[in-house]
Every structure is written in C-alpha cells, then in structure tokens.
Amino acid sequence: MTAVPLSLLPDTAKVLHDGSLSIGGCSVGDVAAEFGTPVFIYDEQHLRARCREAVAAFGPGRAVYATKAFLCRAMARLAYEEGMLLDVASGGEMFVALAAGVPAAALTFHGNNKSVDELRVAITTGVRHIVVDSFDELDRLEALHAEGLPVPAVLARITPGVHAHTHEFVATGQDDSKFGFNLGNGEAQRAVDRMRRSASVDLVGLHCHIGSNVFAASNFAKAAEVMAGFAVPLDLPELVLGGGLGVAYVMGEEAPSIMQWGNVLLDACASLGVRSHVSVEPGRAIVAAAAITVYTVGTIKRIPGVRTYVAVDGGMSDNPRPVLYGSGYEAFRPADVRATRSLQARLVGKHCESGDVLIFDAVLPEETTVGDLLATPVTGAYGYSMASNYNMLTRPPVVFVGNGIARPVVRRESMEDLLRCDLD
C-alpha cells in the first residue's frame, strides 16, 4: 500500500523533516490549529502559476477564469491580476466579481436562463460579452434595448453535438442538452441569422462548452473541428471553446496540462482555418489541485466482517462531488505524509444520511485514530463553491497560504450566520 502521491498536492507542498506537510511555507497542522477544521487551504503560488500558464498558452485576453469553480473576492482579484478575464454564470457571481474590483469589461456573462434583472445589470455595468443561450433570452435582450439600454456585445452559445467523455451531469455538448443553440437541427444557424439582423445585439462571436473534467484531448479537437465548420464561413472576431480540462484526482490519473490543452486547441483551430481569436474558460484546471481540505477524525466505527467507517467533521456539505458524480479522492494524514496506507475504510462526514460519503473505498494510514487530521487533496474546484448548510453545518473558512503566511480570505460561518436570513 502506498503513500499519497505527492503529485496530487499543491505546487509548494513540502514534506518537512518530521514527515509533516507544509504548503506555501505554512505547516498544515498549524493552519488547522489556527482556523479549525474543516478548512480549505489554497496554495496562492499554485493558483497564480495556473492563471499565468493559461494566459501564456492562449494569449492575453484569451484565458477566461470560470468563477463557478471557486469564487470569493480574493480569487477574482488574483485571476484578474494574473491577466485572466472572468466568466460569471449568474447575477451573484457577477456581483462578487464586481465587488472584488474586477471591471465589468473583463466579464463574460453566462447562463441558460438569465433573468431580465440579471441581463439589465450586465448591460448597464457594461460586461464584455453576454453569451446568448436561447431565443427567449434574445427576446429579453430585445425588450431591454427597446427600453433604451445600450446594445451589448454577444456570443451565441452553440451546442455542437459532441459527446464528451465525462459524467452525464457535466456533459453539455451533446444534442440532448439544456444549453445553447443546436447545431445539428439548424437552430444555431437561425439564432445567428436573427442576431445578425437584430439591432438589439452586436454578435461578435460563437461559444461552445462540451463538458467538464474531460481528459481526452481528442474530445476538444473534435469540438474545435465541428465549431470551425460553422464558424469559419461566418468569420466573426471571437470563438470561445469553453472550459472543461480535466484534472487528476486520484492515484494513476493523468490529465493534459493547460499548455498541452492550449497546443491541441490552437493547432486544431489553425489547421482548420479559424481566423477568429480563440479563447477558453478553464475553471477546474486553475483551482482544483491548488487546495486541500483538512478535517478532524471524530469517530471510527469498525463492523467486523463488514466495513470500517471513519467519520470526519465535514462531509457532503463541503464536498458534494463524490455523492453527485461518484468522484474519487485520496486522503492522508498531514502529520505524516509518507505514511503507507493500508486501512481500508469508508470516509464519511457528519451529516444525517448514509449517502454522506467523501471516499467510498478509501485507503488510510493504518494508525488513523480519533483526533487526527485527515486531508483530501484536489478539492479546490467545486467544493467550496458547491458547499451548503445542510444539517445547519457552518461552511468552512478558506485560507490562502504563501511565503509563510496564512491569510484567511473567507471566514468560517458562525451560528449567527445561520440565522442571517431567518425572519423568525
């Protein structure tokens, strides 16, 4: 049985002489002691490096961070400082990005069911692009223009009919999708024709996103090929090929780097005669491996001949991905990173249901005991951002570490926060 692969840990992770883990020059044990558990610890240098890699791979103004993966003001600011633009998929994400000081002109506004109010804010603040997803949205945009609002620059979201190899819930490029205008049945052409004729929108490009956590470069090349077939004759200035680059979550998984992804996409576009500016919207690939979540073990239940349950102080409220998508994770003790893991157990949380599982078939250090810290790596994407207050658990804090300093960027929710919206 092996120790946790160090390749799954954030860039600045170091195993200290006593076998314990430090990230960003901070002892993980000390950060957990200071901020309590569960806690999300992000390696700031890792985040910055991935943003820079995306900008280097696709060019300035061509790498758009998908904030749904992880958003707070510090993250929005960091991505923008490193040269990325931001994709926001709701009025709330737009609000947080603007509150971080990111200019509206750096935002792309997404969503399959944007409200009139959200569209109004997007237009009046002057977002860079609105990605139009449906004819109903186009009706709303035309009505807003009739009210006297300015003409927004828009992209048309196209569903290319490409089925990405990923979990059904995060595949979006296939014909049977709630997103976008269908290429195969002529809807995309009708949408583009209408937008080109419309005085209410300025169609500047096309957009597609085939799905999330996609590992096969060939899936992206296929989407580029299908989109190029439609885009080249239209000759619009922008072509956005979405996000979706997968990351390794568990031992043995391997994903292309952002740079390799860039090469595949840009080479494919060049050979297909695409003359538009090609942009992408990575979320997971920027933030997933930058963070670990640290928990405390509270209860160990051994059922002879059946299974061992190891329960920690978080669960499906800070990481719903295992339950939603059957996603796998590794776990290890930050006090002893190199410990071999031979205890087969189910790592569970503290929620009131049996489905509250963090790792279905975990291998943990044999000596794992109550009171130990346990960490799960690669939890920087779609963990905090999908966290909930189920069972009235308070959401964990987010701490950025770097240069030996641990900086809380989101505090732990308090019990009072649980009553914030409660009108009694």
Residues annotated as catalytic are: 352
Q: Where are the beta strands (DSSP E) in 79-169?
A: 85-88, 107-109, 129-132, 153-159
In angstroms, the CA 235 to CA 276 distance is: 7
Q: Segment near ligand LLP (CB under 6 A), from 49-57, 138-146, 209-217, 302-310?
A: 209-217
Q: Where are the beta strands (DSSP E) in 94-213?
A: 107-109, 129-132, 153-159, 181-182, 202-207
CA angle 102, 105, 111 (to 5 degrees): 90
**Among 267, 261, 270, which residue's Cα sits nearest to residue 242?**
261
In angstroms, the CA 409 to CA 175 distance is: 40
In angstroms, the CA 341 to CA 3 distance is: 6
Nearer CB in complex with ligand LLP: 74/258: 258
Quick one: CA torsion of 20, 399, 50, 289, rounded to 10 degrees?
50
HSE-up of residue 332 (Cα within 13 Å, Cβ side): 27
Residues 333-392 that bind ligand LLP (CB under 6 A): 382
Q: Segment near ligand LLP (CB under 6 A), from 184-192, 276-284, 301-309, 341-349?
A: 276-284
Nearer CB in complex with ligand LLP: 170/232: 170
User: Cβ of residue 153: shortest distance to ligand LLP, in angstroms?
Assistant: 17
In angstroms, the CA 91 to CA 101 distance is: 15
Nearer CB in complex with ligand LLP: 288/339: 288
The region that residue 242 occupies, defined by phi over 0 for left and psi between -120 and 50 for alpha, beta otherwise, is: left
Q: Decide if residue 133 touches ligand LLP (CB under 6 A).
A: no
In angstroms, the CA 195 to CA 110 distance is: 17
With contacts defined by CB under 6 A, how many residues of the chain interact with ligand LLP?
21
Amino acid at 19: G
Q: Decide if residue 180 touches ligand LLP (CB under 6 A).
A: no
**Residue from 209, 222, 341, 395 in contact with ligand LLP (CB under 6 A):** 209
**Residue from 281, 318, 356, 372 in contact with ligand LLP (CB under 6 A):** 281
In angstroms, the CA 54 to CA 265 distance is: 12
User: Cβ of residue 385: shortest distance to ligand LLP, in angstroms?
Assistant: 8
Q: Decide if residue 111 touches ligand LLP (CB under 6 A).
A: no
User: Cβ of residue 258: shortest distance to ligand LLP, in angstroms?
Assistant: 10
**Residue from 87, 93, 318, 372 in contact with ligand LLP (CB under 6 A):** 87
Q: Decide if residue 114 touches ligand LLP (CB under 6 A).
A: no
User: Cβ of residue 413: shortest distance to ligand LLP, in angstroms?
Assistant: 21
Q: Name residue 42's beta-bridge partners.
A: 291, 400
CB-based burial of residue 394 (10 Å sphere; 0-12 exposed, 13-18 middle, 19+ buried)?
A: middle
Nearer CB in complex with ligand LLP: 56/170: 170
**Residue from 56, 149, 153, 170 in contact with ligand LLP (CB under 6 A):** 170
Token pair recorded at residue 311 = 């329960």
User: Cβ of residue 4: shortest distance to ligand LLP, in angstroms?
Assistant: 21
Q: Decide if residue 238 touches ligand LLP (CB under 6 A).
A: no
Nearer CB in complex with ligand LLP: 50/333: 50
**Residue from 134, 213, 293, 317 in contact with ligand LLP (CB under 6 A):** 213
Q: Decide if residue 67 touches ligand LLP (CB under 6 A).
A: no
**Residue from 321, 341, 350, 395 in contact with ligand LLP (CB under 6 A):** 321
Binding residues for ligand LLP (CB under 6 A): 66, 68-69, 87, 110, 170, 209, 212-213, 242-245, 281-285, 321, 325, 382
